[in-house]
Structure 1
Amino acid sequence: MAVGVAYFLLPLDHLGPGRPVLSWLLLTLVLIAVAALLLRQVRDALVERPGARPGLVIALLIVLTVHVFAAAYYALAKQPGEFAGLHTRVDALYFTVVTLATVGYGDITPRGQAARTLAVLQILYTFVFLTAAATTLTRRVRDMVVRRTEQDDRREGRD
């Protein structure tokens, strides 16, 4: 919830075509930080570190990633010719989710080279980091369910 509120309150109008170097640098640094945090959570889940709460943290980092890309799309859309159909923060969030889900309705399209580069970056980032995180999270939940089922079976004497 807080990530969504922050997304709509951040002063994104100071980024984009007026400050391209700052915009790309900030995007790169945030994505690297989120990727590092995701990889740490994946590691903690795989080694089953006691006290780790990867389920909550991974879910929050995935939501944060969606909002980071949406913010980047919104800032980039200020540059004429980069996007067709992307005008608001809601449009940017929608485009990010549609791209993440690989739906591609076609109502918003990246037209410029920077917009297309950002879309490719999002797809690659999703393949590598978000897929690894989601797979790890799914595996952890499955393992927890199997352990609980085995414990219940032992308690009930069904070896």
Structure 2
Amino acid sequence: MLGIWTAITVTAYFLLPLHSFGPHRPAVSWTVFGAGLAVVAAGLLIQIPYAANHRAGTAPAWILAGLMCFTVLLFASSYYVLAQHQGEFSGLDTRVDALYFTLVTLATIGYGDVSPTGQSARLVTVLQIVYSLVFLTAAATALTRHIQLRLMRRGRRTPRDGAGDG
């Protein structure tokens, strides 16, 4: 399921008409970006407790991973749109460049080959760093806890506890 969701969102990232946003429509661009971040944050805040507590009957791992992927693509889209405005970025020309910059920033590597030079680009970069520290770190921690709990529960099962035993 996660693979399908990832394929759909990555395909959408490369196909969406992002030229509809940008410096010629700043109010719409900032509103859509802010709304996207708010929706993802709400989804993460709803799903994190489910994953951390491993509540039965839920699929928080898939949802959290999908929301984390969507967050990366949302920031990459915003960087690509910002790069269309002269003076906002150095070294960012394509959607691949934007995705690359997003992941390098997320991983705190910072090679320096792509850099935000304008105030809007720097603002979004700072926002990505803070958003990642708060939301994505919490999501990754909850996801890790969820996986650990599942593995521990599987390790404690005996053949008698498993399904298929009449």
* Range into which the TM-score falls when normalised by the shorter chain: over 0.9
Output one character per residue of 1:87-117: Cα deviation in whole Å (capped at 9) or x when no partner: 0111001100000010100000000110000
Pairwise CA distance, 1:49: 2.7
Q: Which residue of 2 aligns with 1:147?
A: 153
Task: Give 3-state SS (helix, strand or coil) of 1:80's partner.
Answer: coil
Is the CA contact 2:54–2:149 (under 8 Å) kept in the aligned structure 1? no
4+ runs of 1 displaced by more than 3 Å? 152-155
Q: What TM-score, normalized to structure 2?
A: 0.89
Output one character per residue of 1:32-67: Cα deviation in whole Å (capped at 9) or x when no partner: 001101111112223433211011111111111100
Q: Confirm or deny that 1:55 pairs with 2:61.
A: yes
User: Which moves more between the two structures, 97-106 or 145-154?
Assistant: 145-154
Is the CA contact 2:51–2:145 (under 8 Å) kept in the aligned structure 1? no
Alignment CA distance shift 1:26-1:126 (3 Å): same
Rounded to whole Å, the distance in 2 between the matches of 1:140 and 1:122 is 25
Q: Confirm or deny that 1:13 pairs with 2:19.
A: yes
Sequence identity, in percent? 52
Say what the alpha-carbon RMSD is for the aligned residues.
Answer: 1.5
Q: Give the count of matched residue pairs.
A: 155
Q: Where does structure 1 lack aligned partners over 5 or more consecutive residues?
A: none
Q: Where does structure 2 lack aligned partners over 5 or more consecutive residues?
A: 1-6, 162-166
Pairwise CA distance, 1:84: 0.2
Q: Confirm or deny that 1:87 pairs with 2:93.
A: yes
Task: Give 3-state SS (helix, strand or coil) of 1:104's partner.
Answer: coil
Rounded to whole Å, the distance in 2 between the matches of 1:124 and 1:36 is 16
* Letter in structure 1 aligned against 2:108: T
* Letter in structure 2 aligned against 1:26: V
